[in-house]
Structure 1
Amino acid sequence: MFILLSFLSLFLSGSSDRPSPKKANLKVDVQNVRAPKGAVYVALFHSENSFPQGKPMEGRKLNIDGKSVQTTFSVEPGDYAIAVYHDENGNGKMDKRMFGIPKEPYGFSNNFRPTMSAPKFVDCKFTVSDGSKTVSIKLDSF
């Protein structure tokens, strides 16, 4: 019995004949950083179910050294959306005013500007194909 289980575990853990999907470089350029304090948080989403309030597929905290910051993600080709905010006071969260209106600068891919509610994935969606792609997001305060 032990030999059978060992053989099965080797068989199941063997490498697949399917090639792994090719990764692409997604560069995110966040512009219009007002002050060199705090940090910029970048959240990358691959699903409309979690965008923009849920858990991102990957997130980054970027130190500020000028009027813009950049980061690069390695992703499989597909559709994505990005949400960004500048945590100016360094408390690790997006500070909000009454009715949930952000106090700190924020932005979304496609430079989508929501009016009365949070954006939908389709509003901010962009496609990454093979190779590389750069997405520029301008921070704004409203």
Structure 2
Amino acid sequence: MKFLSSILVLIIVFTIESISAQNKTITASVVNVTSNEGRVSYALYTKDSFMKKPIKAKSSKVIQGKSTVVFKDVPVGEYAIVCYHDKNNNGKMDFQPNGMPIENYGASNNVMNFGPPQYEDAKFSIIDNNVSLEIRF
């Protein structure tokens, strides 16, 4: 009976390790922030959550015009990142009365069209390896 219990424990441990080994890391950096004031906030989305509620969100200080975050334990799949420079540290993106953004923003793949980022332009896949992205405002 002890032998069977030991084998069951080993199977569970290897299964958990295998599942966590499938999860990846996404490193996202903005390299052209115009000032060191405030923070850059990043949101990680799937197609279903895009521009709604992110599946993960982080922010980081700006040091010498660069900001970097790391999203850990991200399952293999398709994602998009949208980020903005929260220069005044108020926790939200600010807009002019006509709806134009006051603060700089960007998205994965660096496709900037007139209007908000689009999922199809910003999407990227995680398959076998961790991903590093350089985003420009």
Alignment match of 1:126 (pick from 110, 113, 124) = 124
Q: Which segments of 5 or more consecutive residues in structure 2 lack a partner in the other structure?
A: 1-11
TM-score, normalised relative to structure 2: 0.80
Instruction: Kindly provide the amino acid, as one letter, of the partner of residue 65 in structure 1.
Output: I
Q: CA deviation at 1:78?
A: 0.8
Aligned residues: 122
Q: Higher helix fraction: Structure 1 or Structure 2?
A: 2
Q: CA deviation at 1:31?
A: 1.4
Q: CA deviation at 1:81?
A: 0.2
Alignment match of 2:63 (pick from 59, 62, 65) = 65
Instruction: Kindly provide the amino acid, as one letter, of the partner of residue 118 in structure 1.
Output: P
The answer as to whether partners of 1:82 and 1:109 remain within 8 angstroms in 2 is yes
Q: Which segments of 5 or more consecutive residues in structure 1 lack a partner in the other structure?
A: 1-14
Which is further off, 91-100 or 35-44?
Answer: 91-100
Instruction: Kindly provide the amino acid, as one letter, of the partner of residue 91 in structure 1.
Output: N
- Match of 2:98, SS state, is helix
The answer as to whether partners of 1:23 and 1:130 remain within 8 angstroms in 2 is no
Q: CA deviation at 1:82?
A: 0.4
Identity of aligned residues (%): 33
Partner of 1:25 in structure 2? 25
Partner of 1:108 in structure 2? 107
In structure 2, how many angstroms separate the alpha carbons of the residues matched to 1:99 and 1:20?
47
